[in-house]
Amino acid sequence: IALGKTSLILVKLAELTQLTPVFPSQDPLDRADFNAVEYINTLFPTEQALEEAQKAIQQLFGKIKDIKDKAEKSEQMVKEITRDIKQLDHAKRHLTTSITTLNHLHMLAGGVDSLEAMTRRRQYGEVANLLQGVVNVLEHFSKYMGIPQIRQLSERVKAAQNELGQQILADFEEAFPSQGTKRPGGPSNVLRDACLVANVLDPRIKQEIIKKFIKQHLSEYLVLFQENQDVAWLDKIDRRYAWIKRQLVDYEEKYGRMFPQEWCMTERIAVEFCHVTRTELAKIMRTRAKEIEVKLLLFAIQRTTNFEGLLAKRFSGCTLTDGTVKKTEVPPPSTNPFLEDETGTETDEIVIEKSDTDRPKKPKVPDNPFHGIVSKCFEPHLYVYIESQDKNLGELIDRFVADFKAQGPPKPNVDEGGAVLPSCADLFVYYKKCMVQCSQLSTGEPMIALTTIFQKYLREYAWKILSGNLPKTTSSSGGLTITSLLKEKEGSEVAKFTFEELCLICSILSTAEYCLATTQQLEEKLKEKVDASLMERINLTGEMDTFSIVISNSIQLLVQDLDAACDPALTAMSKMQWQNVEHVGDQSPYVTSVILHIKQNVPIIRDNLASTRKYFTQFCIKFANSFIPKFINHLFKCKPISMVGAEQLLLDTHSLKMVLLDLPSIGSQVVRKAPASYTKIVVKGMTRAEMILKVVMAPHEPPVVFVDNYIKLLADCSTDTFQKILDMKGLKRSEQSSMLDLFRQRLPAPPSGVENTSSLSLSAPTPEQESSRIRKLEKLIKKRL
């Protein structure tokens, strides 16, 4: 068996001979022609040789076992030797601990004796140092309290501490009696050392000393400013703060060194004064609530907040948080010029730029830890302030209305892009003043009440000042009425807005846009000022929507004015005898009339809306959406049309198309590319008008080709539109009937889910639909205005 295992091992080794070219070797095992059997027979030529090898292996195992036994004996011998050394180490450690404990015990016993003796002699300076050491040493005996002697020493230390506490309190009571004045001799070194001892005693002793001293120090204040005293009322609130300032100076001079600096006694006196003052003021204001006027209230609040600000400059506020002061991080200075200091003067204006809504918010300044410590008592009475602001804002809106009637609309200022009504800036300046003032008084419910007042007068300003002054009645100068705007006057000239009225509409539009942006920022500022729990209750979306309605109404008036001015020209176009036109000439007179009205109105509107370019673009888009369908409807009324008449109409249509494409910059020295959204509307609408005329010009024979061309050019599957095309061509009813049948046959199959081919119609609204829309629009505008 051993021979077989050896043979297998040798065979495996022989497999590694492939590495011979890499590592040359003279070993027989590495030869390429290695024969395992021959090699084994060479090593063990006989069975006796093999047995000798096995005996040698057994001898080797015996020697290894002998070495192992000797190693175990040596290890046991080492353990026996070191056992005594470990015992000596333990003995040394226990002896050291015993000596240290005895020393501590000696120190504790001597310290307790000395502590009791010094306490009787009131040697507080020595007691302060000794007591702390005794307490520290006593901590080492916490594990030995089961020993009677140690427990007895611990009880003596506690008794000494109690005696010290009662003795120190008695000393302070004697020096500063509750019923009487401060001792004329001033503070003593004994009391100063007693304060050091109080630092080591139970914290309640320190708190009792502070409480009694402050109470005695403020006793005079409670007498001088009793509720029945004249100086206690709000109009003399300055005297309260002047009194405490004198008291703090007097304290620093007389008692500043008596109390440890870490007690912050000056701040504690000031804080207790604030608590007492808040309670006393709240009591007297409840009693005399009917005597509180807004000017008196604001005077008292202003003086109080100034005093709280003075406290913040002088003290850290550590006593307000039980000795733990949170370090406030001052935000880095901002380089954004829009982020002005809101804590400045009350007349600061909310500066608004057109792109300010995307600007970052100003980082908040660290809070005053003393804010509200006294002024909180005024919060229940802030309804007086809110009611006053309600009254003031109502009077302000009435004055705006009266000034507008007396002075008239602002003078046009085309060079500056139109005039914004000055009253809107006055309104938001007043809002800013109220917001800053109220936030200094309270950041709670009064701010929500003020926000409600703001909302009320924002809506009143929108309707009374802005919408209320939009032109809506016929003036002696030939002004425009809403009715004349909305109803088509055939065969007569339509009254137009004057230059001043157009400028007024643009001014109101610009003012509404300013108010919209400013109201959005006002909402953000209010949310910054109010408590976090009340932020969700501040929402000025409704007021912003109101200003958006004013903007929309203003744009609609401008569109209707120009649209109505073009109506007579379109009416004249539909009444021309187009079948009698013999040759194609220049553009028709009605086109010249439309262009004239566009050149009169658009430059005025564009120049007055230069500061609100996006709304001028809206005006252009709305006019195109109104004029082009109306032009196509009048185009359908031109019937019958000869070939030459259709060519003339096509020429006129192209002229109008070019004018409309150039409308945003018409009459301007600076030519700007029209907005893509506007250009798309004009091209789509006027191209449809051109396609209608091209279909009219196409021969109706053969009918199949005519119908296919119509479907291809207009992509309109409405039979009504096709009927109108046939009327324009002047076909007889019999011819039209066959054409309509053929048209229905050639229509493409409707998409799945579509039941009605009329739903595929891409035509403009019918005159009946347009008339219905105009009536609805007229009612809506009358309701708004």
DSSP class per residue in 133-161: HHHHHHHTTGGGTTSHHHHHHHHHHHHHH
Percentage with pLDDT > 70 across the chain = 77
Decide if pLDDT at 773 tops 50. Answer: no
Question: How distant is the alpha carbon of residue 747 from its chain centre?
Answer: 57
**Residues 52, 55, 61, 64: is their CA dihedral positive or negative?**
negative
Lowest mean pLDDT among 319-328, 426-435, 598-607, 620-629: 319-328
What pLDDT, on the 0 to 100 scale, is given for residue 329? 41
Measured distance CA(420)–CA(99) in Å, rounded: 94
Output 353 or 605, whichever has higher pLDDT: 605
Question: What per-residue confidence (pLDDT) applies to 359?
Answer: 39
SS3 content of the chain, % helix, strand, coil (to 5): 75, 0, 25
Question: Residue 727 has which token pair?
Answer: 């009327």
Q: What integer is the mean pLDDT of 184-191?
A: 62
The confidence band for 481, taking pLDDT boundaries of 50, 70 and 90, is: very low
Q: What is the rounded average pLDDT for all residues in the chain?
A: 78
| Nearest of 356, 360, 361, 348 to residue 517 by alpha carbon | 356
pLDDT digits (tens, 9 = 90+) for 711-727: 888 877 788 888 888 88
pLDDT over 90 at 634, yes or no: yes
pLDDT at position 413 over 70 = no
Q: Return the beta strands (E) in 119-277 as ranges.
A: none
In angstroms, how far apart are the furthest CA atoms of the chain? 148
pLDDT band at 354 (very low <50, low <70, confident <90, very high): very low
Q: Is 60 exceeded by the pLDDT of residue 9?
A: no
Q: What is the pLDDT of residue 360?
A: 37
pTM over 0.85: no
Q: If pLDDT is split at 50, 70 and 90, which confidence band does 348 have?
A: very low
pLDDT band at 260 (very low <50, low <70, confident <90, very high): confident
Average the pLDDT over 96-105 and give the result.
74
For residues 149 and 138, give the distance between their C-alpha atoms in angstroms, rounded to a whole number: 12
pLDDT in tens, 262-293: 888 888 999 999 999 999 999 999 988 888 88
Return the structure tokens found at 436: 């800053």
The model's confidence at residue 617, banded by pLDDT at 50, 70 and 90, is very high
Poorest-pLDDT segment among 470-484, 736-750, 752-766: 752-766
Span 386-407, pLDDT tens digits: 998 999 999 999 999 998 888 8
324 in helix, strand or coil?
Answer: coil
pLDDT of residue 128: 67
Query: Alpha-carbon Rg of the chain, whole angstroms?
Result: 51
Question: Between these two residues, 158 and 269, which has the higher pLDDT value?
Answer: 269
Look at residues 208, 226, 225, 228 and name the one whose alpha carbon lies nearest to residue 216. Answer: 208
CA–CA separation, 750 vs 760, rounded Å? 8
- Number of other CB atoms surrounding residue 45 within 10 Å: 10
Task: Find the range with the poorest average confidence among 38-52, 368-382, 427-441, 497-511.
Answer: 38-52
CA 257 to chain CA mean position, Å: 49
Looking at the predicted structure, is the pLDDT value of residue 550 above 50? Answer: yes
